[in-house]
Amino acid sequence: MKLTLKQKSWIAVAVFVVVFAGLLIAATFTDLEVSHLLTKHALKDGEYLADDVFGVFFEIVGSSAIYILIGVCATICLWFFAKVYNKKPWNIIIAVICAVAGAVAFFLMFSDIFGYIIEHVLKDTFIESGSPLSRYELIHKLEDNGAFIITEIILGLMVEGLVILALKGLKEDTLKKLVKFVLAAAVMTAVANLLVAVIKEPMGRMRYRAMNSIAGQAMGGFDNFTMWFVSTDNNEIFASKELFGYSDAFKSFPSGHTCAAGMIYSLIMLIDVLEMKKTWHKVLVWISTIVATGLVAVSRIVVGAHFFSDVLMGGTIAFLSMIIAREIFISKGEHVKVMFGSKKEDAPQDEEEMKEVCTCGEDGCECPFDCNENTTDKTIIDDAIQDNDVDVNTTDIVTETIE
């Protein structure tokens, strides 16, 4: 007998709790040691920014997932209103607004990328002749430079144009399905990133690289290390920019970069939205999203920007936000209802589903659902039984039950 939806749901919850709890316990007691190990060849003594290619690359592009998600969702809305409501006088206006929203999202992505590039290119500027604050001011002066902004706008428009063309072929039925994905992705993005922002400031955890920097060493270096659940004195946070030349020295927990990268978990929702049937498609989506988020998480530790517990919590917030959004907008609370007994599992609607959930033998068929009016095609059960080489009389037993 194959597992029911209720059994699968409880197993999934149990696996998540065990894995997360195990990783959190490990991170709680090994945070500093893990950072010492992974930053050993990437972050030089006395420096705030690392030189490691792997770490710097993902620092530059790691948070792009959130901007890409917003841009793609805006473009889906564009085509939804342009095609589904093509006879409405206001559809073009909304479509244009969606296009602008998508272009803005990609503009912000390039602005973020260029900001990190400038930061790393100028990281050694004025170390000898000026103060860290001079470097901080120069970095932001370049970020606000008109030429950079125009370049970012043009790139944003170009990418949005390409996405519009790429999604042009979507049919109305597909667009109607994807609207649920857009709503779920919007809630996921808002909840996850708002939660990270709300936690970061009050916690004020000092970054590993801040402790490693010259300014940090003058303050006691790694003696400033605190566990993830301990908040830091706000007076040190307010002095962060003057001390380190960067405004984020006390924003370690949780990892915003990892949370932003975790927006790629939204692809998991497409399994249900697009009704993917093949197992390898589902496995590929799950593995690719976990690996992508994991790479960014590891890179954040490598450059000394975060501790193990920081990235674990940032990624988990993104994942749980996706699960909640999927349950509300796509599954309609199905898993929760089944798990807590307020809803019985629906009968399968086609032969494939019947074969998947029912186990047939000489004594009849066992199915983890209540047969009801939704299952009207007797041939579904007949074919399923025949495929299992069951005696013909068994068919009468099952079909009579449905009637």
pLDDT digit string (tens) for 199-254? 998 898 999 999 999 888 988 899 989 999 998 766 655 566 667 767 788 899 99
The sign of the dihedral angle between the CA atoms of 50, 55, 56, 60 is negative
CA-closest candidate to residue 305, choices 362, 260, 369: 260
Contacts of 67 (CB under 8 A, 6+ apart): 105, 106, 108, 109, 112
| Residue written as token pair 């989506």 | 285
Q: How many CB atoms lie within 10 A of CB 227?
A: 14
**CA–CA dist 359, 369 (Å, integer):** 12
Quote helix, strand, coil % in the chain, to nearest 5.
70, 0, 30
**CA–CA dist 114, 142 (Å, integer):** 10
Residue extents of the structural domains in the chain = 21-338, 351-402
* Tens-place pLDDT, residues 124-165: 654 444 455 556 666 666 777 788 899 999 999 999 999 999
Question: What amino acid is encoded at 90 in this protein?
Answer: W
Is residue 371 within 8 Å of residue 347, measured between CB atoms?
Answer: yes
**Band of pLDDT at residue 122, cut at 50, 70 and 90:** confident
Report the chain's C-alpha Rg in angstroms: 26
pTM over 0.95: no
Q: Is pLDDT above 70 for 105?
A: yes
CB burial of residue 347 (10 Å; 0-12, 13-18, 19+): buried
Model pLDDT, residue 136: 61
